[in-house]
Structure 1
Amino acid sequence: MDPLLAPFRARRARTVAWVLTAVVIASVIALFVTVRPNAATTLGAGDYGIVLVFAAILIAILWRQATVSAVPDERGVTVRNLVLTRRVEWAEVVSVRFSSDRAWAQLDVIDDDPIAVMAIQNADGARARDEAQRLATLVERYGGTSVND
């Protein structure tokens, strides 16, 4: 397999998301073990259920953040961001934009709004710049015209 076609994944955001997931799980366990109903508290099954639902929502958001990616192939790239996943063919991509003042890379596409590529995040420093350049190289190789800020 061509190493240029390896998936793009943010490192720091992914690490933070997994660490926070562990903190949420540990916090829920600690809460359930240490807080017992007594004269000062009247926690019932519904209270514990609300905590579990809230924790599940947090974990789902963190999981989605940890799995943000951009998966290229010879025909295009599938961009999975925090909320949406979108497939873009290389011929639709006009340019790749990334610079120190951007939180993440951006794909400018023909006749549509730009697409954020959260898998290439400025927080990753030099690695992010290299990954943005790799994405720009893929755009040039497979059909677009790429300008990297």
Structure 2
Amino acid sequence: MSDHPGSDLPTLPVTLRPGRTRAVLLTAGVAIFLVISAVAMLLEQLGPGERLSFVLTGALIFWVLARLARVRVDADDSGVTVVNIASRRRLAWAEILRVNLRPGDPWVFLDLSDGTSLPALGIQPGIDKQQAITDARTLRALAEIRSVRDPEPSTGQDQG
């Protein structure tokens, strides 16, 4: 990244997601569904209910892997939408105080203005560490540029 924070940033809106992990999960989900369904059809001793239970089991496995593959971080002019496995949260840029991806972290954590931390599973170093680092830097730079914060602490308490 250059010394000028806005020079290498993507045009908004942008979606950050673990592309390789997503491809592996969806491919595995389809393969598992097809194999389980084929086994169900090829086993002659199975009745229709048992075959259906095999197919439904394969579909359930695919659904779980598809949920794991849906994680992403969508950034636009007004803020960020964090889509995790079972949740979706919309944040204004000013709510994001810090974007963290420390060595050993499974994904990015967003430190928020309400004092909480939100995991952003859409940026994870699992299969493609370099892409996760690039995406974390991009989100950090976007948050720094787009956040409009009050320069004076509003509570008057020592921030130290």
Place the TM-score, normalised by the shorter chain, in its bin: 0.7 to 0.9
Fraction of identical pairs, as percent: 28
- Alignment map for 1:18-57 (pairs within 5 Å): 18-37=26-45, 43-57=46-60
For residues 61-96 of structure 1, what are the alpha-carbon distances to aligned partners after superposition, in whole Å with 9 as ceiling and x for unaligned?
A: 111222211110111101111111111111111111
The residue type equivalent to 1:14 in the other structure is R
Counterpart check, 1:8 vs 2:16: yes
**Superposed displacement of residue 126, structure 1:** 1.2
Q: 1:113 to 1:52 in 2, by over 3 A?
A: farther
What is aligned with 2:100?
A: 97
What is aligned with 1:63?
A: 66
**Superposed displacement of residue 30, structure 1:** 2.2
Counterpart check, 1:88 vs 2:85: no
**Superposed displacement of residue 4, structure 1:** 4.6
Q: Which ranges of 4 or more aligned residues in structure 1 deviate by more than 3 Å?
A: none
Counterpart check, 1:137 vs 2:137: no
Bigger helix share: 1
Verify the 8 A CA contact 1:9 1:68 in the aligned structure 2.
yes
The residue type equivalent to 1:22 in the other structure is V
The residue type equivalent to 1:103 in the other structure is P
Q: CA RMSD in A?
A: 1.8
CA distance in 2, matches of 1:106, 1:7: 17
**Superposed displacement of residue 23, structure 1:** 1.6
Q: 1:109 to 1:144 in 2, by over 3 A?
A: farther
Normalising by structure 1, what TM-score?
0.84
For residues 10-43 of structure 1, what are the alpha-carbon distances to aligned partners after superposition, in whole Å with 9 as ceiling and x for unaligned?
A: 0222021112112212212321232111xxxxx2
CA distance in 2, matches of 1:4, 1:115: 24
Normalising by structure 2, what TM-score?
0.79
